[in-house]
């Protein structure tokens, strides 16, 4: 059976040579730079990542500095990107490179796959772009391009379908696999967009694309999720002293938002009487309770439905860390979910 993807190599590479974006991580092929950018780009759009990437590289310019950075400082640098496990895995992988590889970045797909937080896509991107290994790098953008070109009606969220696409792409990889992989990503990010947003008139592959030919662009790729989401009600406490200090606490080292600092919060929607009782149980003397707002935050498998209250209190020693808004802004990474209740601006981008 003919591989429809054989027809895309030349027009794709010609298009990419003209239309590739100038991005901070494309200034060289340093594997550290490519690695950091690829981890940041997971579940985050390119435009949102640019300034985070530049600041991160300025503060942590190499694997050694990343391996040594305190976790609180790392999470502050990552603040606003979300999915903080990515940042922790970066540090774990940097420590492994320093301790087990003598600070030398792994050069092959197989060795890259041994790093914490590095999956097939990231390993393929680094190995092909930085070390010219002939391997694929298949993310959601690449799957969308491949599914449309081939007219595939298979569910691309199924692992076996992804493996089939990888195998077809591997058959057509040119010697410069890194450039081909980047070109596929670029096309998916800028032209072959999801649904009705696709810019088929600008696409170099429209002449060989089955989805375009058959009017199926808005239907492909097929993505059928099987996920049971749950919702959780939470009451968020903005505990504030008369001198303007705010109570924060560190979350457990494992689980959702592990190790991050947060405004105190509890499960369930509490009444004002219950809020007062909770604060007094923490050893606080309550002066005034004021409703702030309601907010919702969507995690991967969970929605937080939140109600926030400002509670004026007398500050004792003990349970909480009491910080000024300026200290919070400068030194503590507050989860995005809780920022609607904070009395200070969001982190600088």
How many structural domains comprise the chain? 2
Q: What is the CATH number of the domain that holds 236?
A: 3.90.79.10
Residue 316 has pLDDT above 90, yes or no: no
In a domain? residue 348: no
Alpha-carbon distance values, 73 to 228, 250, 275 (Å): 35, 14, 32
CATH number for the domain including 47?
1.10.340.30
pLDDT at 206 over 70: yes
Residue at 346 is within a domain: no
Whole-number pLDDT of residue 344: 65
Task: Choose, from 22, 38, 154, 326, the residue flagged as catalytic.
Answer: 38
Q: Is the domain of 280 the same as that of 177?
A: no
Which residue is listed with tokens 């592959």?
205
Domain annotation covers residue 225: no
Omega cis (within 30) before 32: no
Residue pLDDT, tens place only, 280-315: 989 999 999 999 999 999 988 899 999 999 999 987
177 and 300, same structural domain?
A: no
Prediction pTM value: 0.77
Output the six-digit token pair for 234.
């939470």
Q: Would you state the pLDDT for residue 227?
A: 61
Same-domain check for residues 99 and 161: yes
Least confident of 216-220, 228-232, 319-323: 228-232
More confident of the two residues 258 and 106: 106
Boundary-marking domain end, from 146, 179, 213: 213
Is 38 among the residues known to form the active site? yes
Q: What is the pLDDT, as a whole number, of residue 44?
A: 86
- 120 and 202 housed in the same domain: yes
- Domain holding 126, by residue range, is 4-213
Spatial CA neighbour of 211 closest among 220, 202, 224, 203: 220
Output the average pLDDT for the chain. 93
pLDDT tens string 116-144: 999 999 999 999 999 999 999 999 999 99
pLDDT tens for each residue of 16-75: 999 999 999 999 999 999 999 999 999 888 999 999 999 999 999 999 999 999 999 999
Question: What pLDDT shows up at residue 75?
Answer: 93
Q: Give the mean pLDDT of 82-109.
A: 95
pLDDT for the residue numbered 226: 66
Same domain, 248 and 116: no
């Amino acid at each position: 059976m003919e591989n429809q993807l054989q027809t895309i190599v030349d027009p794709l590479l010609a298009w990419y040579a003209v239309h590739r974006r100038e991005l901070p991580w494309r200034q060289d092929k340093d594997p550290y730079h490519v690695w950091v950018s690829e981890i940041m780009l997971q579940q985050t759009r390119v435009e949102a990542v640019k300034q985070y990437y530049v600041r991160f590289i300025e503060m942590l310019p190499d694997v050694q500095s990343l391996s040594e950075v305190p976790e609180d400082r790392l999470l502050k640098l990552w603040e606003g990107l979300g999915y903080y496990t990515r940042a922790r895995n970066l540090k774990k992988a940097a420590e492994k490179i320093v301790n087990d590889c003598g600070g030398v970045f792994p050069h092959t797909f197989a060795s890259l796959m041994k790093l914490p937080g590095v999956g097939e896509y990231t390993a393929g991107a680094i190995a092909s772009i930085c070390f010219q290994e002939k391997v694929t790098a298949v993310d959601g953008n690449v799957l969308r391009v491949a599914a449309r070109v081939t007219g595939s009606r298979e569910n691309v969220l199924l692992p076996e379908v992804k493996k089939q696409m990888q195998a077809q792409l591997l058959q057509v990889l040119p010697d410069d696999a890194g450039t081909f992989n980047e070109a596929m990503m670029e096309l998916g990010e800028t032209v072959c967009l999801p649904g009705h947003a696709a810019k088929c008139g600008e696409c170099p592959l429209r002449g060989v694309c089955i989805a375009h030919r058959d009017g199926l662009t808005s239907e492909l790729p097929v993505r059928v999720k099987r996920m049971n989401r749950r919702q959780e009600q939470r009451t968020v406490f903005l505990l504030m002293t008369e001198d303007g200090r705010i109570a924060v606490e560190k979350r457990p080292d494992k689980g959702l938002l592990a190790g991050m600092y947060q405004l105190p919060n509890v499960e369930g929607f509490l009444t004002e009487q219950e809020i007062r009782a909770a604060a007094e149980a923490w050893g606080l003397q309550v002066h005034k309770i004021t409703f702030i707002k309601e907010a919702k935050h969507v995690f991967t498998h969970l929605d937080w439905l939140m109600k926030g209250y400002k509670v004026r209190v007398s500050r004792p020693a003990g349970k909480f860390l009491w910080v000024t808004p300026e200290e919070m802004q400068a030194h503590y990474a507050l989860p995005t979910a809780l920022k609607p209740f904070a009395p200070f601006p969001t982190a600088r981008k």
